[in-house]
Copies of this chain bind each other. A is one copy, B any other.
Amino acid sequence: MSTSHSSQSHDSPSPEATLQGPGLHGAGRISDRFWSPRLELVRDVVVPYQWEVLNDQVPDATPSHAIENFRIAAGEQQGTFHGMVFQDSDVAKWLEAVAYLLQHERDETLEQRADDTIELIARAQHEDGYLNTYFTCQAPGERWTNLCECHELYCAGHMIEAAVAYFEATGKRRLLEVMCRFVDHVETVFGHESGQIAGYDGHPEIELALMRLYDATGEPRYLKLCRFFVEERGQLPHFYDLEWERRGRTHHDFGAGTQPFMLHKKTYSQAHAPVHEQDRAVGHAVRFAYLCTGMAQLAQRSDDKALLATCRRLWDNMASRQLYVTGGIGAQAPEESFTTDFDLPNDTVYGETCAAIGVVFLARQMLAAEPDRRYADVMERALYNNVLAGMSLDGQHFFYVNPLEVDPKVLADNPILEHVKPVRQRWFTCACCPPNLARLIASLDRYVVGCADDTAWVHLYIGGEFELPLSAGTLRLHQETDMPWQGAVTLTIGADVPVQARLALRIPAWAEGFEVSLDGERLDAEMSSNGYLELERQWQDGDRIALRLEMPVRRVYPHRALRHDAGRVALQRGPLVYCLEQADNGERLHDIALREGGIVDTLEGTDALSGMTLLRAEALRENAAGEALYRFDDAPTYTRTEAVFVPYFAWANRQEGEMRVWTRELPRRA
């Protein structure tokens, strides 16, 4: 994606190789009061810390060994492989985040570090193109023998993503070439010919990565290989069974469940049926989101309407039956998986940061395939709530798991809550979430707008400068806003020549109303059926659109099938979901009940929450009624009080304490 920055690059990536097909998203430059500081945290704190971790330079962290694995694989150091079987992907995600940072701002030291790392990776590549430090160092004879469990193509996928991003950011082709060589090798290994493997990875990722490689290179073989992996999935006889038999029914140990293992593995990794027969979101939540992201890209780039319908069906099940109000997915922790429709427990939830990031990835591809605010609404919900809650305000601590209800007192004594942490952690042995957050925030400019033919969609209201390559010419879009705190957005057009085009502004579902004006003159525009406000005209340099989205506090009520939320309400203002914290409201948050229709007003946050809009709600608090565990015929009484709500993303940035998103609400009259 050709940006103003990439034109400063050493080599010149061919712009025609990027941004193919309708509805794709351009890159830009974020300049936003809310997001820019977070981007800076990623640049100044997260990515440098991550580098230290990868190089085992953090004294109190479990050594990552990830860089050392590459040195050993390259034959430059003695030693054995250490870490997860997918340890290589940590290096890939770091490189990908670095690429996005470099795209925003040159940093010679960082770029040199990345270049050196890429050279190291290149030296770890085998003659035939193969690249994976686990199988090079630890199990050299076992390449491609356990796709189900060993993340071989998953690691390849992440490195491809890094390669494409680094190429797009710097124009440097070194890693891109390394990965094209690897993919060319993969292409010889997989297929239906004799001696080839008709299989696919247990952890989807290669699919979306191949589509990015196809976008970057225009090479149709990559799209074809992606299609192969998507279409093989879940076919019978089942590949997992076949490779399991071939390797003598052994398993790579990463925590088997008690269910019949092979059957379980299939559902867990969305391989229980061919994708076109799947109609529900099942299994490991991150795997699901990554698979569907790749499928949506493939459907859109190859104009495959049946595959797109599959994506839509799976999205709809996820979004309308299995999505937390925070935009999280994955209701159960033991398998980090979906459970079943309308089953969304608030305390035992997994809600992995990576899974919500996967929802953002998938929403972006669905928007590219068919712009509709339902995708953008969910993307925004996930981004501003579950995703953002994954990182502390100081950028130094992270949540893997994002509960909607926590009582720190009960966590230690119940193993089913073992995964829930009441405070963010410095880093993790399985370090997927922090680097994933880093690469998403660093590339957030790619989620804001989309273009196809003569239409540019504005999906997210985030300040910055975005390029809109339209059929009649390229526009620049300058956004200014105080979102998520205020609903006003100013969009200023930059154009070298006037361009006839349609500008489609998303009207979020949370907006109670809106007003739009052009150059100070109010427009009587109507929202189209897909939830966008379409403004068509010949755009001139300096055209200025003022959009005002009404952003009152909304009371969110759950579908009546959501049994964990029955009788409860959540508060939302703009894209932000709010929660109660013990820091403001004392212990026993379950004691607090809002009154139906009670007043909720806003409040300025202070100290750690300075600059944020908090909410203050009329509430009732259950009175003490003696020490009896159970008492007869003595209904609770309530005292009027005020309850303070803080943005969910900002929870656990003060003292350790209780938190709760869904609050009881008492109807006016029963």
Contact = CB atoms under 8 A, between A and B. Distances in A.
A20 to B, nearest CB: 34
A250 interface: no
Main DSSP-derived SS at the A contact region: loop
Nearest to A620: B670
A340 B409 CA distance: 8
A173 interface: no
A554 B556 CA distance: 34
Contacts of A593: 567, 670
Contact of A562 (B413, B629, B670): B629
A667 B414 contact: no
Nearest to A598: B670
A355 to B, nearest CB: 16
A638 interface: yes
Interface string A174-191: 000000000000000000
Contacts of A339: 410, 413-414
Contacts of A333: 416
Contact of A567 (B319, B572, B632, B664): B664
A569 B622 CA distance: 14
Contacts of A524: none
Contacts of A563: 407, 588, 590
A325 B570 CA distance: 29
A343 interface: yes
A39 interface: no
Nearest to A668: B670
B555 A632 contact: yes
A510 B632 contact: yes
Contacts of A669: 669
A261 interface: no
Given A340-B410, A415-B257, A629 B319 contact: yes
Nearest to A592: B566
A635 to B, nearest CB: 5
Contact of A555 (B555, B566, B633, B668): B633
A591 interface: yes
Interface string A331-351: 111110111100100001000
Interface string A652-670: 0000000000001111111
A573 to B, nearest CB: 11
A252 interface: no
A558 B629 contact: yes
Given A554-B633, A629-B323, A635-B596, A343 B560 contact: no
Interface string A501-535: 00000000110000000000000000000000000
Interface string A540-564: 0000000000000011111111110
Contacts of A15: none
A625 B670 contact: no
Nearest to A564: B590
A116 B554 CA distance: 75
Interface string A244-269: 00000000000001100000000000
A378 to B, nearest CB: 10
Nearest to A594: B670
A140 interface: no
A313 interface: no
Point out which of A343, A416, A627 has the most chain B C-beta atoms below 10 A from its C-beta: A416
Contacts of A10: none
Nearest to A331: B414
Contacts of A320: 627-629
Interface string A596-634: 110000000000000000000000101111011111111
Nearest to A337: B413
A116 B338 CA distance: 54
A335 B667 CA distance: 40
B632 A554 contact: yes
Contact of A258 (B418, B591, B627): B418
A340 B590 contact: no
A69 B323 CA distance: 53
Given A339-B410, A413-B340, A597 B319 contact: no
Point out which of A407, A595, A664, A670 has the most chain B C-beta atoms below 10 A from its C-beta: A670
Given A554-B632, A630-B556, A413 B348 contact: no
The 5 closest A-B pairs by CB, nearest first: A666-B670, A563-B590, A334-B415, A566-B590, A339-B413
Interface of A: 257-258, 319-321, 323, 325, 331-335, 337-340, 343, 348, 407, 409-410, 412-416, 418, 509-510, 554-563, 566-567, 569-570, 572, 588, 590-591, 593, 595-597, 620, 622-625, 627-636, 638, 664-670
15 contacts: A258-B418, A320-B627, A325-B630, A343-B410, A343-B414, A416-B416, A509-B632, A558-B629, A559-B625, A560-B623, A563-B588, A567-B593, A596-B635, A620-B670, A638-B667
Given A339-B413, A560-B591, 20 more contacts: A258-B418, A319-B629, A320-B628, A331-B414, A332-B414, A333-B416, A339-B414, A340-B410, A343-B407, A510-B632, A555-B632, A557-B634, A559-B631, A560-B623, A562-B629, A567-B567, A567-B593, A572-B632, A596-B670, A638-B667
